[in-house]
Structure 1
Amino acid sequence: MPTATIDSKGTQFFYTDSGPVPGSSDYTTLVIYHGSAFTGDTFHKLLPLGAKDNVRLVILNRRDYAGSSKYTDAELDDLNAARKTALERIALDVANFLVWFVDTQHPPPASADGKTGGLALMGWSLGNATPLALFAHPEVVPKETYAKLEPYVRLLILYDPPFLTFGHDQPPDVYSPFTDPAFKTPQEIFDNFQYWVSGYYDHPDLGSRTVRGMDFSKRGKDASAGHFTPKEMAKNYDGLAAARTEAPMIFNMKNVLRQQAQRALFDEEMARTILPRTKVVHQYCTRTNWFCAYGFIETERQYKEQLAQGKKVRPIAFQEIKEANHFVHWDDPERFWKATAEAIHGNVH
């Protein structure tokens, strides 16, 4: 089981690596961080698809998920108390893993035009808060670490992030699987969540960029999780890890997540000084759950507002994946990969 030991404390991350692209000296390495409850295994269908597009895939399991280090009681306390320290720790973990990867695997650096080589970071769902952390906490990530990564990190792909990732305010009087009174414990909540999050929803007015007409159904159509075999579910789903590590983010950390996202995306000084060549692609799926559809609408609105004010923030391109739900990488990996390869090669504007 491949693991990376990334610091002097012995912090480990389990990862899967498709390996260098044969015969290529300028491949891009895509590093993927999974979302809540569903593990990195859900991305394994992508592993054979990358080489034809000159991409190496590295899929991590985040802290507390199978093969990666558990959080200590003190670290869990930071999460539950919504301390900024919890996100700073995530930023260091991301930075240290990437430095470890560069030092031990020697991937090609980014090309001068930013379209080949280097590292592209991808988060999925609430897991987007993990790579976002790298761009928001220079007070804890050493300058020499950023200097080491600067020739490599060129792209951040936000794959269908929910509004929670950015600390956006929730619209009033709408259904949330996290406050449904039918489910009492964190484990019960996440067992319901797996079907809600993976359904297909109809948002007929998504093009208007408002919440009006959005599908707030309690359960979408034909949930992807409903098609997992018991063996697939055992590998791909970990409700206990989610209850330990994601529930605090969902219920307690709105303000610190908002501060992190604002710094990572909309702080001019951060954009100029922290991995400044990094561009952002926000992938949104037209039949995703409302958490993620609203995450796209509100983030795009804020980005356009920043540009209208003349601010030089981190460049963001918004990429639509039509008729896709939150699990398009599982249900239709070829279609998801086609969109992702376009993003990696700089063909999304």
Structure 2
Amino acid sequence: MPTIGVDDNGTELAYLDSGAPSARPDSYVTIFAIHGTVFGFHIYDKIFRLLQDRSDIRFVAISRRGYPGSTPFTPDEITALSTDSDDQKEAFLRARGTEVALFIDKFIEKFDLPPISSDGSSGGIALMGWSLGCSVALSVVSHMDTYPQRVQDRLGAHLRTLILHDPPQVALGLPPAPQSWNPHYDTSITPAQALQATVRWLTSYMRHGDLSTRSLDALEWVVPATFRAPSIYTMSDAEVAQIVAYDQAGPDATWFMTCGPQLRASYEKACFDPAVRAKVPRMAVWVLIGDVTLPFGIAATWQVEADNVAMGGGDSVSVKRIPGTNHFMQWDDPSLALQAFKEVIA
């Protein structure tokens, strides 16, 4: 698979690319997608299949560090986070954003991606984080002022949309709700069993109560619904083997559990800091969320909406709700997902 080097130390990020749309070679939009935890970039395979038939956008899925094709972390990079200072944790999070920012900058240059048109109707790029990948996407934007000027200029001319697809609370540095639960908390089974049960639970559908109340007690925190099978049960054994990286659950958990304050600061800076937003003046921010998804995504969205009123003046972040979708919309409902992606980058 192709890779792009992102530093002078030999670090590379692998990617999947749908290619330039033949129908709009000079005016298309490119979506750069960052996957979540355990589920790697092949979770977007059904999106790529759709784009074979209607190529009106370019779609690039990036493999995060440690996932197939990309440079792994050293053991020290992860284990040290438990004892690192706040400054070192911030440096770790900044490095994740910088890697992706430089990847995008090189991709834009290599493939001559069209910038946003003068009237805003075409061209440019969207940066999308899904699940834990939202924290990396936010880091890309929140650390804009640390990049070389050429990178800042290129991103400023191209970045039209930041998409946070079903962001969990931890990805935004928000404390988990008191009601939070997942199978990983069950100490009566082995850690390996708990991990596999958690991965299956994460792909479930949840039947919540009245979401208009915005009450955490209206959310179903534990028991999956039965009206639709969890997403992982629609995958073949070969697809599971290709998509799921159980070995990355530990490294991912270490950094998102130890870097909470840094993740929160990054989220707030990317979404609400006027100085940062001035560097990407044409960037809109959207949260995409389903109504039968996991409870932590809905709880996080409610908090983003509250923060938007308190810190952003009410118009810094927009929310798009997609009825009937869970955490894996891009797998279970790829046509609906692609439509939602296109609507928020229009």
Under a length normalisation based on structure 2, what TM-score does the superposition of the two structures give?
Answer: 0.91
Residue 52 of structure 1 aligns to a residue in which SS? coil
The aligned residue for residue 92 of structure 1 is 98
The aligned residue for residue 215 of structure 1 is 220
Q: How many angstroms does 1:315 deviate by?
A: 2.4
Q: In the alignment, is the contact (CA less than 8 A) between 1:200 and 1:289 conserved in 2?
A: yes
The aligned residue for residue 15 of structure 1 is 15
Residue 134 of structure 1 aligns to a residue in which SS? helix
Residue 136 of structure 2 aligns to a residue in which SS? helix
| Total equivalences in the alignment | 338
Distance 1:139 1:315, change over 3 A: closer
Identity score, percent? 28
Write the mapping of 1:260-299 to structure 2, written as runs, cut at 5 A: 260-272=266-278, 274-299=279-304
Deviations 1:270-317 (A, max 9, x none): 222x3222111100111101111111111111112224xxx4x87211
CA distance in 2, matches of 1:254, 1:191: 25
Distance 1:85 1:189, change over 3 A: farther
- Which of 126, 142, 150 aligns to 1:144? It is 150
Q: In the alignment, is the contact (CA less than 8 A) between 1:271 and 1:314 conserved in 2?
A: no
Amino acid aligned to 1:6: V
Q: How many angstroms does 1:60 deviate by?
A: 1.2
The aligned residue for residue 202 of structure 1 is 207
The aligned residue for residue 341 of structure 1 is 342
The aligned residue for residue 198 of structure 2 is 193
Q: In the alignment, is the contact (CA less than 8 A) between 1:279 and 1:314 conserved in 2?
A: no
Q: How many angstroms does 1:176 deviate by?
A: 3.5
Q: How many angstroms does 1:179 deviate by?
A: 3.1
The aligned residue for residue 133 of structure 1 is 139
Residue 31 of structure 1 aligns to a residue in which SS? strand
Amino acid aligned to 2:29: T
> Is residue 2:222 matched to residue 1:236?
no
Q: How many angstroms does 1:2 deviate by?
A: 1.2
Q: How many angstroms does 1:81 deviate by?
A: 4.1
Deviations 1:51-85 (A, max 9, x none): 73620011111110000000123422454446111
Q: In the alignment, is the contact (CA less than 8 A) between 1:37 and 1:190 conserved in 2?
A: no
> Is residue 2:110 matched to residue 1:104?
yes
Amino acid aligned to 2:3: T
The aligned residue for residue 187 of structure 2 is 181
> Is residue 2:35 matched to residue 1:29?
no
Amino acid aligned to 2:2: P
Deviations 1:129-162 (A, max 9, x none): 1111011124632333211221111111111111
- Which of 283, 299, 302 aligns to 2:307? It is 302
Distance 1:220 1:178, change over 3 A: farther
Q: In the alignment, is the contact (CA less than 8 A) between 1:175 and 1:218 conserved in 2?
A: no
- Which of 14, 39, 55 aligns to 2:57? It is 55
Amino acid aligned to 1:85: A
Instruction: Show structure 2 runs of 5+ residues with no match.
Output: none
Q: In the alignment, is the contact (CA less than 8 A) between 1:30 and 1:120 conserved in 2?
A: yes
Q: How many angstroms does 1:17 deviate by?
A: 0.6
